[in-house]
Amino acid sequence: MPIHPPDKVLPAPARKDLPPPVRLRRMLGPGVILVGLSLGSGEFVLWPYLTSQWGFAVFWACVIGVTVQFFLNMEIERYTLATGESAVTGFFRLSRIFGPVFLLCATLPWIWPGWATGGAELLTWELGGTPVPFAIGSLILVGLALSLGPVVYRTVETLQLTLVSAIFVMLLILVAVVVRADSLNALWEGLLGFGTVPEGIELPVLLGALAFAGAGGATNLAQSNYIKDKGYGMGKWVGRITSPLTGREEAVSEIGYAWNHHPENLAKWKVWWRRANLEQFTSFYMLCLISLTLFCLLTHALLGENTELGEGLGFIEAEAAALEQRFGGWARHLFLWTGVVVLLTTELGVLDAVTRVTVDVVKLTFLRENPRWTPTRLYFIILWSLIGFGILVLSLGMDQPMQLLVISAVLNATVMFLYSGLLLWLGLTTFRGPLRPGPIRIAALAFSFCFFGYFTVVTLIDKLSSTG
């Protein structure tokens, strides 16, 4: 049964029965949203960029990154399924200091609008003009989409399912007509070259790619919010974030529940946990690995290795030109519009996920006793504040998408280093018996802590030595 840490920071939770498990097909959704978050950074930009420069030499690290994120996501989900609280609330129970810490962790790495800027640059290749107006317009469009749906989660899930499905269809068409056996052989050799890091590789880009082999950073923590709004496990007993414009506000509690301790609840838990793992494995882990592999295979087949393509998104423009040369204009347009959809999907997911995590932190840290500032109201104020800051960044001339994405990715890798350790601490001090993480899960969290910690420190030392 769940046993919370000493209740010095937050009140002790009341007790309720665990609700009956839902069918697996009804659980699909949160994992796909995380895939949508990962498509526009790791899958479409950072890993293909590394492939264009170094082939598949570090693709082994990509597989490790996705695998680590599967285990991180499931420990985040364990806490919320069992308590109805977000993982951020769990961190707050460990110590009040994690309130302001995660306010920085949730916002600082994600306020750089690299996805909107990248999509805008691709649009200029298709439509002409300059990127900044397109980028600002896409930020406003995403904000309106998140603001007008009666239940925000349903809006995000519907949009992401539609967009991710469209992206995979377009990607499969391109891969089917382009990829050859030599690219498949190179992929296999890269996987066998475990631990190889080519000399001269850009460590910040590699670290960022490791963080974005999946959703990355604080956005993984939004998994808690998605399964609460979906009504999984003890999340069924807390409210959802709705639109203040088109929805009916629900009572949302930051404080979850403990179980009534009897065999029936334990039997329910085993089914919940098994189905949650299956949902995450199929809709997040497998889709992430497949999409990463396909995008990198496409890049390798079109550009080869060690390609001198300049800075930024030049390799994407080169891919589009190669497709046009081989198959005609339709292939170029399909590829670039796929990229626009990918980056727009990611921008939508990022803004929603970051806003949710920030709402948890702000409510718990500063406004827990203030009933006026409900999570729904905070959601829309924070959402449009993030959009406003993104517009300000673009207006000040920081409009290079690769630069913005690498800044975001490196900061998020540091955040993952931090919360890998906190999830391990939280799981071991909160649960005992059947709910306690097993040896494999504990080892995975410890590995994640060391893995991201090592690459963060190495990258920091490399940057300090290069500037010194």
1: pLDDT confidence band, cut at 50, 70 and 90? very low
9: pLDDT confidence band, cut at 50, 70 and 90? low
Q: What is the DSSP letter of 249?
A: -
Task: Please say if the pLDDT value at position 468 is more than 70.
Answer: no
Going by their DSSP bridges, the two strands 257-259 and 14-16 should be labelled as: parallel
CB atoms within 10 A of CB 419: 29
**How far are the Cα atoms of 215, 224, 421, 426 from residue 442, in angstroms, in the given order?**
21, 19, 10, 11
In this prediction, residue 466 carries a pLDDT of 59
In this prediction, residue 424 carries a pLDDT of 93
In this prediction, residue 243 carries a pLDDT of 55
Which segments within 222-267 are labelled E, that is strand? 257-259
Contacts of residue 422, defined as CB under 8 A and 6 or more positions apart, other chains included, come to 91, 94, 98
Compute the distance between CA of residue 31 and CA of residue 25 in angstroms, rounded to an integer: 12
Structure tokens at 125: 């290749």
Q: Among 242-256, 331-345, 396-410, which stretch is predicted with the lowest mean pLDDT? A: 242-256
Q: Among 40-44, 256-260, 429-433, which stretch is predicted with the lowest mean pLDDT? A: 40-44
Compute the distance between CA of residue 42 and CA of residue 62 in angstroms, rounded to an integer: 9
Compute the distance between CA of residue 417 and CA of residue 157 in angstroms, rounded to an integer: 28
Mean pLDDT of the chain: 82
Q: Among 37-51, 115-129, 408-422, 428-442, which stretch is predicted with the lowest mean pLDDT? A: 37-51
Q: Once rounded to an integer, what is the mean pLDDT over residues 374-398? A: 85
Task: Please say if the pLDDT value at position 465 is more than 70.
Answer: no
CB atoms within 10 A of CB 305: 14
Backbone Cα Rg of the chain: 22
In this prediction, residue 2 carries a pLDDT of 53
Task: Please say if the pLDDT value at position 281 is more than 90.
Answer: yes
pLDDT tens column, 160-216: 788 788 888 888 888 888 888 898 998 998 888 877 778 877 777 777 777 777 777
In CATH terms, 14-467 corresponds, of 1.20.1740.10, 1.10.287.70, 1.10.10.60, 3.40.50.1370, to 1.20.1740.10
In this prediction, residue 275 carries a pLDDT of 92
Q: Once rounded to an integer, what is the mean pLDDT over residues 106-131? A: 82
Task: Please say if the pLDDT value at position 6 is more than 50.
Answer: no
Task: Please say if the pLDDT value at position 244 is more than 60.
Answer: no
In this prediction, residue 446 carries a pLDDT of 95
Task: Please say if the pLDDT value at position 397 is more than 60.
Answer: yes
Compute the distance between CA of residue 228 and CA of residue 234 in angstroms, rounded to an integer: 8
**% of the chain beyond a pLDDT of 90:** 15
119: pLDDT confidence band, cut at 50, 70 and 90? confident
Q: What is the DSSP letter of 283?
A: I
Question: What are the helix (H) ranges across 55-86?
Answer: 59-83
Task: Please say if the pLDDT value at position 296 is more than 70.
Answer: yes
**% of the chain beyond a pLDDT of 70:** 88
In this prediction, residue 148 carries a pLDDT of 77
In this prediction, residue 153 carries a pLDDT of 66
In this prediction, residue 201 carries a pLDDT of 79
First to last CA, the chain: 53
